[in-house]
Structures are given as structure tokens and as C-alpha cells.
A and B are shown apart, each in its own frame.
Chain A
Amino acid sequence: MNLAICLLLQDDHEITIEELETRYNTSVTKGLTSTFASQVLERDGPNELKPPKGTPEYVKFARQLAGGLQCLMWVAAVICFIAFGIEVARGNVTAFDNLYLAITLISVVVVTGCFGYYQEFKSTNIIASFKNLVPQQAIVIRDGQKNQINAHQLVVGDLVEIKGGDRVPADIRIISGQACKVDNSSLTGESEPQSKTPECTHENPLETKNIAFFSTTCLEGVATGVIINTGDRTIIGRIASLASGVGNEKTPIAIEIEHFVDIIAGLAIFFGFTFFVVAMFIGYAFLEAMIFFMAIVVAYVPEGLLATVTVCLSLTAKRLARKNCVVKNLEAVETLGSTSVICSDKTGTLTQNRMTVAHLWFDNHVHAADTTEDQSGQSFDQSSETWRSLARVASLCNRATFRPDQEGVPIPKRLVVGDASETALLKFTELTVGNIMDYRNRFKKVVEVPFNSTNKFQLSIHELEDPLDLRYLLVMKGAPERILERCSTILIKGQELPLDEQWSEAFQTAYMDLGGLGERVLGFCHIYLNEKEFPRGYAFDPDEMNFTTSGLCFAGLISMIDPPRATVPDAVMKCRTAGIRVVMVTGDHPITARAIAANVGIISEGSETVEDIAQRKRIPVEQVNKRDARACVISGGQLKDMSSEELDDALRNHPEMVFARTSPQQKLIIVESCQRLGSIVAVTGDGVNDSPALKKADIGVAMGIAGSDAAKNAADMILLDDNFASIVTGVEQGRLIFDNLKKSIAYTLTKNIPELTPYLIYITVSVPLPLGCITILFIELATDIFPSVSLAYEKAESDIMHLKPRNPRQHRLVNEALAVYSYFQIGRCSFAGFTDYFTAMAQEGWYPLLCVGLRSQWENVHLQDVQDSYGQEWTFSQRLYQEYTCYTVFFVSIEICQISDVLIRKTRRLSVFQQGFFRSVKTHPKHASLGIMYLNSTQLVQWWFVPVPYGILIFVYDEIRKLGVRRYPGSWWDQELYY
């Protein structure tokens, strides 16, 4: 990773303050001078992340015009122009069909291009609306004066102050600080707050404690520092630019469409060439045969398909948007459906992203607290006296406070000043005890000792509520083992009992149990200070601790966790049944990660890791057969020492994987490894650090609420509610659209043959042309668009979420069976067309046998008295109108067959009767389109009925096919006829 290299070159964190002052021409007391600052601003530009170089709009548009199908249509249009050119050169000025066709092809490409571009534009807009519009402020010292300025005007060398709640405005070398803690989660993914001090503790700038990074949040304390990097030169800016280095990969659907275009082009050229040879053999001139060749190739292009695919995809995108998934790239909809691995973040996606009290231990019992998002769960028994004491300690020994003016907000959603565990406790006590602020006021705080890493506890001393009781109350919380050390008694059912061996053991068991759940456990104790020793007005000294801090009374344990979202276990279960692996990749501690994984079902019940097996069998870890262990937890440290083969091996051997304490780069490695194993990988992420992995993934899913702009830019899809369950909805829709696209394409392809055969018969048997080019375009672009789009609304045939994800190399969108079945079996509705054509001809006076070989006379503009089978004489125009009638009846026949076709395409396996005939209401525009057919001749009605038996035949035949496929799965019939 070149990121690490360029970081190592920087030594701003290692040099002394004096060197730093000279380097940036600043002063750690007075800051920069305003004039110099403006010079530097001029030089470096504003302190903001440049939005990633957006693709120019015209390139985006051009991309819409250059997909696989589009290219096919361009080629066809060019061929049409050539054919038109040849015709004109030969003096046939009346042959405008080719020109019209070329123009139509081009307009279809352009119109669908516009449509796709508009869709993309719309979703980009939705994303843009998320951008934080409020400019960030920063406190800067310039010319020795404190000023508040817009953060983007900061420059290198500026002296800035940050305090709890601020966003760090740039990369800062800390000069002085008090209890300053920052949340680096957006950078490294670690959710533990990191303390920042002026000392250089590590040569790696990412590890050292004296640098605070741009866009991280200062949780508490204050600090002053000198800016060493601004804008894109900050660490986060570099990571963001790293993401743009990861190339865009082709989506599976794009690959499928390319594959499909290959098939079409191959077939078109094969057919075209065959008939070119046939035409030459029959005795046509070379140029004429060439035109036939071109016409056949062009006839193979499914003009309507492009529109169908685009519309189907955008319909699904729209449906997904309603379910809180915004799709940036239309093709991503389907990608989600073929996903086989989801690499999910923990914090915020699987969990609620807020510490919540999960368990309490008092009276020698573990009590479960309500961790649901909406407080709908069960509460525990609060009648015990011990609980009251514990609640008092938890309420008083807490520095967190609610931000003002939040009376209307539900308690779990209120904003709090304070660290995560204190926030959790505050909210918990507010919910159980009620009105904590008032409660705290009643117990006036006399002194407090804040938490620090050496003594690992926090205490405060309060006056009692009862003004007559002059004792002081000391309350303390901290690491349970440290608290226990200081206790000599324990509260059980309100009774202070001596803390003997038995209680110690009970405590240890409870502590281990709760810790094993991945929860952060705190111990609570209190003592009433001796009134004589500590009378009112006693000068408590927090530094000297001139008061009792041992022999306290242990009240209980409270454990906290970031609880999983309510919908996640279900969603994970769905993924499992759908054959999708959910891999957790988190920056959190392995035990926490594992606990949450077990909680949401990523590690299923009864699954063991290698270590578990070793423990159970009492054998060394090395002797355990790795294949026996379903689950595996790998930490970032272990991952660092693994080769990529080992990682692949681990992913292959253990179906249930959790990666803990991983760095953003490692996330990328994990994604790459999954892809090497042939999976289609979806990655969720929110931080800037996730953007390379989001980009690398087949589908990157960013979080709408917590996500950074960089992540949203790199992602293909955005979850507006940050909820993992939405991904599952997306997968379901993606799979459905794949199935439905298959149906749509099968439907669209079918009419290719009845459109082509008239021309082939025209060439070989020289009958008057049964179906004209404009009619074909009308079918492709007008009447058949609605039914093929309606298939996109079709509901799933079986529970698609119970199937394995499709194997992209085996389950193609358009496979041989589909093409062959559509072309050569359902394509037989050309027979219907010819029957109807010959009927119309014969009833007007032209017997089928007369038609054969009639072409040269029929098309001769100079013959005004061609005799029909009855001896009647026809002028050229009369013949031409008769030809138009033929086009119409052929068209009607295709349409009638296509009605059958749309009905049979509703299902691929189930009987239509099982699926329900008119379940998809959108089938009806089909019938409206029939009305259009009535245009040409009022006499047509009886010819509508000629193809009906063929339509019924198609329906019955397909029902038989489906019956066979259902009854004899895996049989020859199934292999050959199931698509």
C-alpha cells in the first residue's frame, strides 16, 4: 500500500515543537499571522476534500450509448446505411426502408440512452442531497487572537483548538491537551475512543498519539494543535483518492448482456451467411445477395430489447428506492441478486450503533435489560433494594448529560455529551429511574475523580438527599476486578453481606459470563462515609484521595453492548437460506465481534471455532482438523501474518467467518480473496476508509445516514436506513429481476424468428413479401414493449430466497436452452403467420401455389395487369395494398401468438394456472395494443382468428413442457427444455 509509504515520509509527529514552528513558520502561542495564513491559503487551496473527479456529464451520457446491446444496434444501423447506399447507387430510389430502419435504430439507442442517463442523474441527485450543507466552524488562533472561522479556510501551520463534540478540522499535531479523546472509527473502523496526548508514542503517524486526524470526532476533553496537513493532503483525503485508483469492474449483468450479444451476433452472421450462399445459389446478383445478408443480420437485432432491459431495471430500482435502497447504477440491481458473499460492517449496519445496557448482575442473578430500538422488550424485576442502590450509583457516578431542549425526543434517540458507556448508563437510568438530571441535583456532588487508565475507576462523593442525614455518599464504578478489590461487603437483597469466597466466585462467574457475551462490564459500589471522620465541609482532595476508597459495598455489575438491530437476525437467516455467506468485518474486539456474530446468527448456534474444539477435546489447537470448525474468528493481527493462500483456505474451510480488529486495507484484502474464490461480493461500509473496498467489491453498499460522502461516492447502492435487512430486500429484488429479465428476453427473442422467416421465404421461394420492415419495427418498439416490461412485474415462481445464488459461469441470463427454445420451438408461430398470410392472399384471389415465384411480376412497377388465380387483373398499386394487408395479417398473427407467449413466459417451471393468469396487471396494455392492429383494414377481423389455434397450441405445448420439467427434474426433457 503506497499510503503507508507516503505516511512514513512524514515526520511532523516526531520533531520537536520548535522544529515544527520553524517548519510551518508559526508559533504555538500566537499562531500564524493573518497575512501569512492568507498566503498559504492561496498556495494550498481551501481545506476541504475535493469531490472525486466526477465523470464529465458527456462521458456519462456517452457510456449510456456504448453498452453491449447499443453497440450491436450501432453496427446494425451502419449496415442499414450501407445497404441503403447500395440500393440508391443501383438506382432503386424507392427503397427507403433501410434508411428508416437505420434512423429508428439510432433513435432507439439515443432515447434509451437518455432514459438511462436520466435515471442515473436522478439517483445521483438523491445522493447529493445527503451532503452536509452546514459549513464546519473551527476555533483558530491567529495573531495571538482566538477566532472562529470556516474550517475550509484553515491552512498548514494554523494553531487550532478542539473540544469535545467537535470534528477535527484537519490533521493536527497536538501541542497540549487535557483528557482529549477522539473517535477514529471513520478512519480506522475502531470504535474505541483513542486518547490524544502531546507525546509522540509511535513512529507510524497512524499509531502515534500526538496526531489527530481530519474528520474524526473529538469526544471529550480539549486540545490545541498545529495543523500539519489540509484538504486532500490529509490522511483521509489520501484514502479517498486511493478509492478512485480502484478500477470500476463490469457488472455481472453487463457481462451477461455481452454474452447475449455474442450469441445474437453469432446467430445473425450464421443465418445471414447461409442465406447469402443460398441466394447466390438461386441465382441472385452478388449485390442483391449482399443486401439480403445485411437485411437478415439487421432483422436479428432485437430492437426492443434494449428498452425492455432498461425499463425493467429502472422499475426495480424504483421499487428498491421505496424500500430504502437507492441504486446509483441500474445494473447494480441485478448484481445484488447474484451476490454470494456479503462482507458486512458491524457497527451501525448489524448493530444499532449505540451502546446500550444489556445485562445487570445483582442479587446473584443476571438480569437482562431491554435492548430493543423502540424499548418494546421485556424489562427486569426492579423491586429489589439492591437494584435501587445500584441505580443510584449508576445515576450519580456519571458525567454524561443530555443536550438541552430534547424533551420531545424519545430517550434512546436523545443526544448526549459524554462517552459511549456513560451515555448508555445515562439513558438506561433515565428510562428506569427517570429524570436523572433532577435526581443528580438532589444529591449534590461534592467532588469527583474522573476515570483514568491507571486506576481504572471513576468516583464521586455526594451529599444525601435527606438534608438531615449529614453523611456523604461515595459512589464508584470501574473495571469490575478493580472495584471488587476495594469492596469488603456485597449487597444481596438490600442486605450488606460480607464478601466471602463464595460471593467472589459468584462474581467471577457472572463477570466471565457477561464478558463472554462480548459485553463491556462495569462494576458498581458505594459507601456511606463516616459522619465523624468526614463531617460537612470536609475538604475532599481528588488528587490526594484523602478519603476512604476501600472496604466499599459492592452493588452489582452492569454490562453494555452495541446491540444488534432487531431485524438483523431474521435478515441474516434469510441470507443463509438464500445461500449467501455473511462475513463480518469489523474493527472491534474479537470477543465483541464474535458475540454479536453469534447474536445475529452469522455464527450459528452450535458452531465452533478451532479454539472451541481444542478446548472441548482438550487437545492442542494444532491437532484440530480445521474442517470440523464451521466458525472462525480472525483478528487483524493474525490476518497480517497470513498469506493470501492461507486466507483463501480459511474462507474456503470455514463457512462462518468473522474478521475482527481489521484495518481498512485488510478489508480490501478480504474482498479480493472472496473474489478469487469466485464469489460475487457485496461490501457494506460507511467510513472513508471503506471506500477502496466498496469500489473493489462487485457491489458496494454505503450507509445513507452514517456514511461518509467518500463511501457514498464509491458505492453502487446506498441504504437510506443503514439497515442490513434492506440488503436482503435488495438481494430478493435482484434475483427476481434476473428471473424476470430472462422471461422478458425469452419473450422478446421469440418473435425474432417469425419476423425473419417471411424474409427468408421471400428470398428463397419468391413469394410477395409477407412482412415489411416498418411492421417489424412497430412490433418491436410499440406493441411488444408493454408485455415484455410487464413480465418485470411478475412475482417469483418459487421462494427465490431459498435457492443458492446463481453461479455466474453456469447460470447465464441467456443460455442455449432459452435461445433454442425461443427460436426453434415457440418461434414456430411463423407457421401461424404463413397460414394467415396464405389465407389472406387466397381469399383475395391469389392461391398459395401462384404466390410461389410470383415475386418478380408482383414487384414490377411497370406491370399494371397481373392476373390472379381467378383471372382478375391487378395494377401495381392494388398489389401493393394487398401486400400491406399481408403485412397486417402477419403482424396480427405474431401478436396473437405473442399473447400466448406472454402468458407462457409468466412462468418457467410452474403452470400458469398455479401462478395465476392475470396476477401481473400490467399484461393488459397488450390487449390495448391489439386495437392498433385494426388500423389497416376493416375486413381483417376474420383473419384474426386464423392464428388463434396456433396460439392455443403454443400454450398447451408449453404447459406440457412445464409439466415434464416439474415431474421429471434432471431428466433429458428437463435438461433440453428448461431454460
Chain B
Amino acid sequence: MAALKEKRTCGQRCEDFGRFVWNSDDGTLMGRTPEKWVYISLYYVAFYVVMTSLFCLAIWTLMYTLDPYTPDYQDRLKSPGVMVWPDTYGEEAVEIFYNTSDKASGMKMANILNEFLKPYNDTQQLESNNYNCTKGKYFIQNTFSAPHHTKWSCPFTQSMLGACSGFEDPTFGYNCSMPCVIIKMNRIINFLPTNHSDLPAYVNCTVLDGQENVAKIEYFPDRGIMDPSYFPYYGKLAQPTYVNPLVAVRFSLVGEKKAKIQCRVVSHKISYENFHDPYEGKVIFSLKAMK
């Protein structure tokens, strides 16, 4: 006991440690002879090789059992998220602030939209999704009738956004007080936004703050409707060229030219009041045009 009670100085501790690292008396290195080190290392190598192979086997089995077209569970995606472009963030929320007198700030917004709309380029869409869909009806496909064992995707072209397509006004209204924003609803496999295709989901924007500053809200396509023919989505493998239907919204700002806006995809199947997810079924953003 007495020996245990001794207060060891730092020097002694270091010395002890030194002896632990290399003990010349028994020829041990860190408590083991080199020979034993080899054995124990081999044991551990073998141990971990076995463990890793078991792990790999488990992952392989997992991958083998997965359905490549639809995930096994979609419980986290009961209702699709909605997002607005230009997706410029302020401190926490989306803030689409631009300066009408500063060309660069308007250009920035326009570039974001152009970049976002690239896959919707008319020529590209007609090339990849050259299929004539029946509008106004859900496009249910039970067979893989498209080439390469895929399913057809309906084309959604930039030009469908009318005044906000960027064709007429390459600045998307960011040089004046009539900016365009684009609303996109996230895609979920086999999700139908409404029960009946004659009542399609549509985007509705409301001004939460500064109603007096918004003179007019215009939707492209008409009434902000997301055509049912884009639904349901069959997944990346079945529809490699699928594009989400978009809705562009043009606001005419007056007065102080700022407003807080909520754009919601209206459908009884899409919830928008999830406290934990502010982007579920709706998106809220601030819009401000400065001089």
C-alpha cells in the first residue's frame, strides 16, 4: 500500500512511462514483446477483416433487396416541400432584395433564374421529353413504354412561363418594379397533388405584410395551375428526364415596394401548416425593390 500512496513526481511518471514504452529487462515494447505484438496485430487484422466482410455482406444484402424504382418507405415525405427562386437568403428567411438603379443586383437575380431554368430550355425539353401529353389528366403509366425501359415524362418548357419566361424580358422584371419569382414544388414518387385531375393543384400567393405595396399578382401558366399530366412522378430510374412543373409569379410593386409574401400550393392533399417545416406546401419570402 505504502508504495501506492507515494506521490509520484512528474519525472517519475515520465520515467515509468518510458519503461512502459520500452522495457529492456523483459524486452517488451509497450507491455508486449515484439513477437506478441505480431500475434495480437494479426489477431486484430483477422478480426476486423471478418467484421468488415460481415458488414459488407450486410450492406450488399441490403442493396440487393431494395427496389430500384421506389423507396421502401416514404413516411418522411408525406407532403411535398415548396421553394421559390431566386433563392437568396437573408439572415434566416428567403429575401429577394434588389436595386432597380443598380443593374448588377437585377442581373444577379436574373442569372439565378436563368441558371434555374436551364433544364427547361425549350429545345432541350422538346428533344428529351418529346411526348405529347394529354393536359388536364394524371399521366398514369403502368408499363415502361418509353425507350430504354423507361416511362414518358411530359415536357415543361421555359416558354410556358409566359411573361416570366425571360424571353421577352431577360431581366425577369428585376430592372423595374415587376419582378418574377418561380415556385417549384418538390417531387415525390407516386405523389398525386389532388384526388381528381379536374381540380388541379395551383399556386396561390398572398401578401402577408405590406398589402398596399402590391398592386397586382400574375401567375404563369394561367391561374398558377400545375397541370396534372406532370404527376405522378415515377422516380429517377423510370423517368430520367422528368422536370417539375413550375409556376412563375409576377408582382407589381408600388409604394414602398416591399412586401412579405406567402406562396402556397393549394390542394387538400398538401398540408402547409407544419410548424416544424416552414417549407412544406408553401414558401414565405420577402420581396423588396430598392432605388
Contact = CB atoms under 8 A, between A and B. Distances in A.
A824 B83 CA distance: 46
Which of B47, B62, B244, B274 gathers the greatest number of chain A CB atoms within 10 Å? B62
A579 to B, nearest CB: 16
B1 A845 contact: no
B43 interface: yes
A873 B81 contact: yes
Contacts of A834: 55
Nearest to B82: A864
Interface in A847-879: 847-848, 862, 864-865, 867-878
Contacts of A385: none
B290 interface: no
Q: How large is the interface on B (under 10, 10 to 19, 20 to 34, 35 or more residues)?
A: 35 or more
Given A843-B71, A844-B76, A872 B58 contact: no
Contacts of A61: none
A877 B40 contact: no
Interface string B237-257: 101001010000000000000
B89 A862 contact: yes
Contacts of B63: 842, 847-848
B50 to A, nearest CB: 10
A871 to B, nearest CB: 3
A270 interface: no
A897 to B, nearest CB: 13
A88 to B, nearest CB: 15
B71 A937 contact: no
A844 B71 contact: yes
B186 A831 contact: no
B2 interface: yes
B76 A848 contact: no
Contacts of A680: 1
A310 interface: no
B77 to A, nearest CB: 6
A875 B3 contact: no
Contacts of A976: 40, 43
A842 B63 CA distance: 8
Contacts of A842: 62-63, 66
Contacts of B4: 250, 252, 255, 808-809
Contacts of A679: 1
Interface stretch (B96-104, B219-227, B277-285): B277-285
Nearest to A938: B75
A875 B186 contact: yes
B51 interface: yes
B140 interface: no
B81 A675 contact: no
A872 B58 CA distance: 25
A843 B59 CA distance: 12
Interface string B57-77: 011001100100111111111
A11 interface: no
A882 B76 contact: yes
A824 B187 CA distance: 44
A643 to B, nearest CB: 17
Interface string A533-545: 0000000000000
Interface in A655-680: 675-676, 678-680
A870 B184 contact: no
Contacts of B278: 877
A939 interface: yes
Nearest to B78: A878
A872 B77 contact: yes
Contact of A870 (B43, B89, B189): B189
Nearest to B17: A266
Contacts of B3: 678, 809
A842 B73 CA distance: 9
A839 interface: yes
A776 B40 CA distance: 31
B215 interface: no
Most chain B C-beta atoms within 10 Å of own C-beta, residue among A249, A878, A937: A878
A872 B2 contact: no
Contact of A848 (B59, B73, B83, B239): B59
A528 B169 CA distance: 148
Contacts of B77: 872, 874, 878
A766 interface: no
A845 to B, nearest CB: 4
Contacts of B228: none
Contacts of B236: 867, 869-871
B95 to A, nearest CB: 11
A825 B46 CA distance: 12
B119 interface: no
Contacts of A918: none
A250 B66 CA distance: 60
A187 B62 CA distance: 79
B54 interface: yes
A250 B5 contact: yes
A698 interface: yes
Contacts of B43: 976
B106 interface: no
B55 to A, nearest CB: 5
Interface string B100-126: 000000000000000000000000000
B47 A825 contact: yes
Nearest to B276: A877
A97 interface: no
Contacts of A882: 76
A130 interface: no
A651 to B, nearest CB: 13
A872 B71 contact: yes
B65 to A, nearest CB: 9
B76 A839 contact: no
Contacts of B55: 831, 834-835
A885 interface: yes
Contact of B71 (A835, A845, A877, A881): A845
Interface string A823-843: 011001001001100110011
Contacts of B71: 843-845, 868-870, 872
A681 interface: yes
> Which among B55, B58, B73, B74 has the greatest number of chain A C-beta atoms within 10 A?
B58
Given A249-B5, A834-B55, A865-B81, A872 B277 contact: no
Nearest to B235: A870
Given A843-B71, A878-B76, A972-B39, A864 B47 contact: no
A842 B66 CA distance: 8
Interface string A230-263: 0000000000000000000110100100000000
B172 interface: no
A485 interface: no
B31 interface: yes
B280 A877 contact: yes
B155 interface: no
A882 B71 CA distance: 14
B80 A873 contact: yes
Contact of A844 (B2, B62, B73, B237): B73
B51 A864 contact: no
A843 B1 contact: no
B282 to A, nearest CB: 11
A438 to B, nearest CB: 59
A880 to B, nearest CB: 8
A578 B187 CA distance: 73
B75 A877 contact: no
A808 B1 contact: yes
B218 interface: no
Given A877-B274, A976-B40, 12 more contacts: A675-B2, A828-B51, A864-B279, A864-B283, A869-B236, A870-B69, A870-B70, A871-B236, A871-B239, A872-B233, A873-B187, A953-B54
14 contacts: A675-B2, A808-B4, A809-B3, A816-B31, A828-B51, A838-B59, A844-B76, A847-B63, A867-B236, A870-B70, A872-B189, A873-B188, A878-B77, A972-B36
What 9 pairs across the A-B complex have the smallest Cβ distances? A871-B236, A875-B81, A873-B186, A877-B277, A843-B72, A845-B71, A864-B83, A875-B279, A835-B58
